[in-house]
Chain A
């Protein structure tokens, strides 16, 4: 107090010279949620007739039907997942002479668990929590063991062999028509014991733990089938447009959930409204720096889902969504949804298109990775981007 007064001027820190370490005091700055038309409806009452969205709705449902995995695919995945789960469960309960690692728990995660698998992508995910630390050798040992046991099972049922290949996330068990990714992680308290050269990567390990939280959250909050429909549509859309590709499945899950469920009535919105809303939110900067974005329910307070993207990706994603929004507004949803290929498979979000004489042009990126770090620096300093800074 006295110190501050002595210095005078409000630009001069009251404690600038104290050299206090940065972690002393949590400092929270809540960021604003973006403008959301659904939530802002009282301020913008509709004054013209609602557009006829039947065409869009039809297109959305049609595309969704295409994206759903066929029963054959589903049963193939189910079969191998069940077997693998059996094998792993046995290892948890009775490891026997298996000493490469100790397993704590085995959980199904990801799109298979959530019921949002896409046609043609028959890969289920299973997270294995090791009690021991996940060394590469342990993963290899587990992979071999699982492969051996699983093959025994398969032989017993007269099915084809499976093969197992290790990678940096764990290993993948591949059968004839389906595959299961076994994602290795370890107990939470072991996380800080990880060493980069001995064990699997810390980020990978913790992302697998997060995957468990995600599927649990999903089970509890996002079981509405509209959400799953929207997730499939969005994932497909994101996969087909380069700018939206970096969006992770988790971001899409959260976005879909937000678009369907987060409205004043708390009732699921129709799919066409939700689809427009998701594009509109993305275009409105939901995933841009300085925006509250979507809070990640599975992380510590104030963490935002989209901060996993780097700045260039955030910019690109927003720009792509903005172009797509205008294309959809002009009636180009068939291209956006992928029901119709655009000019030989070109990315519609990067092309100038003409709709009934209205020219829709893509946007230039705003983010420049310039040596002058004004973009990021400033944001960091006064935006306190990530909520808790301290």
Chain B
């Protein structure tokens, strides 16, 4: 404020101006500088302003040349200075608005129309002027603020300023002021103006602290040495002569600066001015410093000194070294009720009178003065001192900003500096407040970025929606045919079990391995047909035999309750089943004779024991497939299948012999004439069975009876009966029957269960440690494991889960054991397994489990690792979370050691790629 006072010292003492006209003129010009801005001031005082202007104009007209005009103005101002106190600030404003047009060299046609009517008394003007000057030094800051906003407001709300003031001449003058300014710059005299303008531009901000009507102290000024000194006010340089000066004025540098200044004056200054309230400004050099320290450094600096020298030489007012505080421009709403501004910028060329803007309203003067507290240095801890040998600090190193200083002062300044604070905020204290320099460029960038993000988000959202749909569809198709490929061959004549509905889970590598292994161990079509044929023939022959026995027995058994007609049975045949290929009991009992037991001759509905209580008189009641055949667990190379024939009474050796004797005959009978299979029937009394063999397939037919289970019934006598077949064998056959039924009812329906049991059978066949696991126990185990899973398991998961169960000690001593569901009592299906076997089996399963977990399921299955399938999705769909052990692993290494496949795979890849490009 003091600076301002000094700067515009002339405003106070009018008498002094009388003595030193030139200096007064200069001073006046400084005051002037603000004139263009001031023109933007209120219209409320227009009349008064016009009067003020009037005098100014007259004075200007009276003098010749711009310089003189300026002097005159100053003079007039000085003369009238005493009156200024009484004048209203508003007057002053208007006067300022008028001034630019007063410049004689500028043709201002509009000027007359606007200003003339107002011309009245010079006294008024003087008053105005004085007032203006005083205000300029005193309370101009608010004015500046309002000017600034007005201009910007004009830009953004063009309609606002123009509506109300349309009738007001001041506006026009103001507008013209701009053009006046332009031309003025080329005028020789305009150097003053220019100086005013720039100086004033800065000067406005000086006034913030001064109260209204503060009385500034004038500082005595030295006499100007040479009026002819060519001083460019915009660039603050002096030129040696008119020629150079002119050249300078036409030069790029000057024009640039000038343009910048113009923009600043016109309100574009906002950007630069809006910086932090803590910014300090050197009026003289028009330099903005970010802090007190920087300012101090600037004042000490050579550049500043030079300007000071020059200004001293020119006799220009030198503001005190007290820095000007910059406050952000005050925002006013355009079109505010009382105050309306007109775009300013018109620099009066000559207008010697007050040009410092003054707000019309008091309220405008009350600009909040946020005194930014002095910034506290931060991050002392992060500055390390580098000491010399003598322990004296040689230099400082800021670890946060990675910079060095030699000077403690520099260090201090650095610690207060914005860059350091930013670093501190970034690295130490995130909530530290750092003033951010709003840069137009940055803001634009940010806006552009936000815009881009918006566009991208939208794009993504759209694409996601699109893809969700696509994905569903794809999953649907994949889900639909997931099992189709590897499984079609399972549906073979009832040998394979049905599979439940499958989920949409992707096929894993484990699944593929298991399925591949399964395909490998699955019996070939031909083998299945051979077995099927042999079994079918045996079953038919047994039925035929049974019929023959029944026919034979009927004469003996006169008590036959049911009339049996073989013819009937033959008629039944086409309707009923021909053999036991549905893996159910193939009852020999005809429809008529079995009526009480089951209405259906096919016997599918009848449970194994159903015919027992029936009136059947047949010795052989029915036959059923058991074991592997019934369960569909045949593997490649399996040749032995089992049939169990249920007898009405205890099967005896006699009966067995009879069967063995008669069967070949019946076999030949049932076998088609063109089938050349030669069946050999072998009696195995110890097993309680006959074996039918056609060279490749062995069908063991065991005879048993449900009656064998009831030892209480005079068991002792019967057991002694030498004729009866071995009891244990019969019981085993019965158990086999039950197991087959259990399997069909419980295990076969579980997802993946049959596949895994086949795999496990293969495992038990291959690996000695697993051999002790009897097939039935294994089936129980696997089905239990499947059953306990919460949902359907894919083959790979199922195998792993079986291994998990075994590895977790399921079959170790403290485990629960495998309860046999086919026995009434609690029987452990694995009860007889020795401890060492359990131990070995568990250890083996544990090893297998870890091999499965670590992608070596092929070792468990004893097969070559399969090449990696190219996923239906790109690799990027599964971002890796685990660090890869080998970063350059690409498709080639994905294949594991399938070296042969490598080239194929590559071809595939390229094909896919080319497809993708299409």
What's the nearest-Cβ distance from chain B to residue A23, in Å?
A: 8
What's the nearest-Cβ distance from chain A to residue B504, in Å?
A: 11
- Across the interface, B851 reaches (CB within 8 A) one of A13, A25, A366, namely A366
Interface-lining segment among A45-53, A79-87, A115-123, A338-346: A45-53
Tell whether B318 is near chain A: CB-to-CB under 8 Å: no
Interface-lining segment among B551-559, B656-664, B842-850: B842-850
| Chain A residues with CB under 8 A of B427 | 133, 135, 193, 195, 198-199
Tell whether A246 is near chain B: CB-to-CB under 8 Å: no
When chains A and B are docked, how far (Å) is the Cα of A300 from the Cα of B842? 36
| Chain B residues with CB under 8 A of A190 | 430
| Closest 9 A/B residue pairs (Cβ) | A17-B916, A40-B788, A284-B808, A47-B819, A366-B850, A43-B788, A288-B853, A46-B816, A35-B804
Interface-lining segment among A164-172, A231-239, A249-257, A382-390: A382-390
Interface-lining segment among A148-156, A202-210, A368-376: A368-376
* Additional pairs, 11, CB under 8 Å, beyond known A32-B797, A51-B814, A329-B809: A1-B470, A13-B873, A13-B874, A17-B915, A43-B788, A135-B382, A329-B842, A366-B850, A371-B893, A373-B884, A377-B894
| Chain B residues with CB under 8 A of A34 | 801, 804, 808
Q: Taking CB as reference atom, which chain B residue is nearest A361?
A: B843
| Chain A residues with CB under 8 A of B872 | 10-14
When chains A and B are docked, how far (Å) is the Cα of A187 from the Cα of B428? 12
When chains A and B are docked, how far (Å) is the Cα of A51 from the Cα of B813? 8
The bracket for how many chain A residues form the interface is 35 or more
What's the nearest-Cβ distance from chain A to residue B253, in Å?
A: 43
| Chain A residues with CB under 8 A of B820 | 47
Q: Taking CB as reference atom, which chain A residue is nearest B826?
A: A47
What's the nearest-Cβ distance from chain A to residue B508, in Å?
A: 5
B473 touches A1 (CB 8 A): yes
A283 touches B807 (CB 8 A): yes
Tell whether A349 is near chain B: CB-to-CB under 8 Å: no
**CB interface residues, B 852-880, toward A, < 8 Å:** 852-856, 865, 868-880
| Chain B residues with CB under 8 A of A12 | 870, 872, 912, 915
When chains A and B are docked, how far (Å) is the Cα of A384 from the Cα of B362? 72
**CB interface residues, A 5-47, toward B, < 8 Å:** 6-7, 10-17, 20-25, 27, 29, 32-37, 39-47
Tell whether A157 is near chain B: CB-to-CB under 8 Å: no
Tell whether B626 is near chain A: CB-to-CB under 8 Å: no
| Chain A residues with CB under 8 A of B873 | 13, 15-16
B804 touches A284 (CB 8 A): yes
A367 touches B850 (CB 8 A): yes
Contact with A along B455-466 (1 / 0, CB 8 A): 000001001100
| Chain A residues with CB under 8 A of B186 | none
Q: A22-B879, A389-B881 are in contact. Are A325 and B854 (CB under 8 A)?
A: no
Q: A25-B467, A369-B885, A372-B896 are in contact. Are A47 and B875 (CB under 8 A)?
A: no
A385 touches B882 (CB 8 A): yes
Tell whether A220 is near chain B: CB-to-CB under 8 Å: no
B464 touches A326 (CB 8 A): no
When chains A and B are docked, how far (Å) is the Cα of A21 from the Cα of B459? 13
| Chain B residues with CB under 8 A of A385 | 881-882
Tell whether B817 is near chain A: CB-to-CB under 8 Å: yes
Q: A14-B470, A385-B882 are in contact. Are A133 and B846 (CB under 8 A)?
A: no
**CB interface residues, B 751-790, toward A, < 8 Å:** 784-785, 787-790
B506 touches A285 (CB 8 A): no
What's the nearest-Cβ distance from chain B to residue A336, in Å?
A: 13
Tell whether B638 is near chain A: CB-to-CB under 8 Å: no
What's the nearest-Cβ distance from chain A to residue B453, in Å?
A: 15
A15 touches B470 (CB 8 A): yes
When chains A and B are docked, how far (Å) is the Cα of A291 from the Cα of B803? 13
- Across the interface, A322 reaches (CB within 8 A) one of B380, B807, B810, B835, namely B807
| Chain A residues with CB under 8 A of B849 | 284-285, 288, 318
A285 touches B807 (CB 8 A): yes
When chains A and B are docked, how far (Å) is the Cα of A163 from the Cα of B817? 59
| Chain A residues with CB under 8 A of B814 | 51, 53, 276, 329
Q: Give the size of the chain B interface in residues (CB under 8 angstroms).
A: 105
What's the nearest-Cβ distance from chain A to residue B474, in Å?
A: 5
Tell whether B567 is near chain A: CB-to-CB under 8 Å: no
Max chain A C-beta neighbours (<10 A), residue from B463, B809, B810: B809
**CB interface residues, A 167-211, toward B, < 8 Å:** 187, 189-190, 193, 195, 198-199
A380 touches B784 (CB 8 A): no
Tell whether A358 is near chain B: CB-to-CB under 8 Å: yes
Q: Taking CB as reference atom, which chain A residue is nearest B794?
A: A32
Q: Taking CB as reference atom, which chain A residue is nearest B473?
A: A1
Tell whether B250 is near chain A: CB-to-CB under 8 Å: no
| Chain B residues with CB under 8 A of A100 | 381
A371 touches B886 (CB 8 A): yes
Contact with A along B413-453 (1 / 0, CB 8 A): 00000000000001111110000000000000000000000
What's the nearest-Cβ distance from chain B to residue A163, in Å?
A: 22
Contact with B along A52-88 (1 / 0, CB 8 A): 0100000000000000000000000000000000000
A-B contacts at CB below 8 angstroms, number: 320
| Chain A residues with CB under 8 A of B804 | 34-35, 284-285
What's the nearest-Cβ distance from chain A to residue B847, in Å?
A: 5
Tell whether B670 is near chain A: CB-to-CB under 8 Å: no
What's the nearest-Cβ distance from chain B to residue A199, in Å?
A: 7
| Chain B residues with CB under 8 A of A46 | 816-817, 819
- Across the interface, B430 reaches (CB within 8 A) one of A23, A189, A371, A377, namely A189
Contact with A along B809-837 (1 / 0, CB 8 A): 11011111111100000111001000110
B428 touches A135 (CB 8 A): yes
Max chain B C-beta neighbours (<10 A), residue from A99, A101, A374, A384: A374
A311 touches B813 (CB 8 A): no
Max chain A C-beta neighbours (<10 A), residue from B873, B875, B885: B885
- Across the interface, A363 reaches (CB within 8 A) one of B509, B847, B856, B879, namely B847
Some 12 contacts from A to B, beta carbons below 8 A apart, are: A13-B912, A20-B876, A37-B809, A44-B788, A102-B429, A280-B808, A290-B853, A319-B846, A330-B839, A373-B886, A380-B878, A380-B882
A193 touches B430 (CB 8 A): yes
What's the nearest-Cβ distance from chain A to residue B898, in Å?
A: 10
What's the nearest-Cβ distance from chain B to residue A247, in Å?
A: 16
A375 touches B856 (CB 8 A): yes
Q: A372-B896, A374-B896 are in contact. Are A27 and B877 (CB under 8 A)?
A: yes
When chains A and B are docked, how far (Å) is the Cα of A102 from the Cα of B813? 60
**CB interface residues, B 380-411, toward A, < 8 Å:** 380-382, 399-400
**CB interface residues, B 589-645, toward A, < 8 Å:** none
Q: Taking CB as reference atom, which chain B residue is nearest A382?
A: B508
When chains A and B are docked, how far (Å) is the Cα of A375 from the Cα of B850? 11
| Chain A residues with CB under 8 A of B807 | 283-285, 322
Tell whether A357 is near chain B: CB-to-CB under 8 Å: yes
Q: Taking CB as reference atom, which chain A residue is nearest B431?
A: A131
| Chain B residues with CB under 8 A of A99 | 380-381
B854 touches A43 (CB 8 A): no
- Across the interface, A372 reaches (CB within 8 A) one of B809, B828, B836, B893, namely B893
Q: Taking CB as reference atom, which chain B residue is nearest A356?
A: B835
Max chain B C-beta neighbours (<10 A), residue from A39, A133, A359, A385: A133
Tell whether A224 is near chain B: CB-to-CB under 8 Å: no
Max chain A C-beta neighbours (<10 A), residue from B843, B870, B876: B843
| Chain A residues with CB under 8 A of B60 | none
Q: Taking CB as reference atom, which chain B residue is nearest A331?
A: B813
B831 touches A48 (CB 8 A): yes
B881 touches A307 (CB 8 A): yes
Q: A1-B473, A389-B879 are in contact. Are A326 and B430 (CB under 8 A)?
A: no
Tell whether A132 is near chain B: CB-to-CB under 8 Å: yes
B816 touches A37 (CB 8 A): yes
| Chain A residues with CB under 8 A of B469 | 1
Tell whether B800 is near chain A: CB-to-CB under 8 Å: yes
Tell whether A138 is near chain B: CB-to-CB under 8 Å: yes
What's the nearest-Cβ distance from chain B to residue A34, in Å?
A: 5
When chains A and B are docked, how far (Å) is the Cα of A35 from the Cα of B509? 20
Q: A11-B869, A35-B801 are in contact. Are A389 and B878 (CB under 8 A)?
A: yes
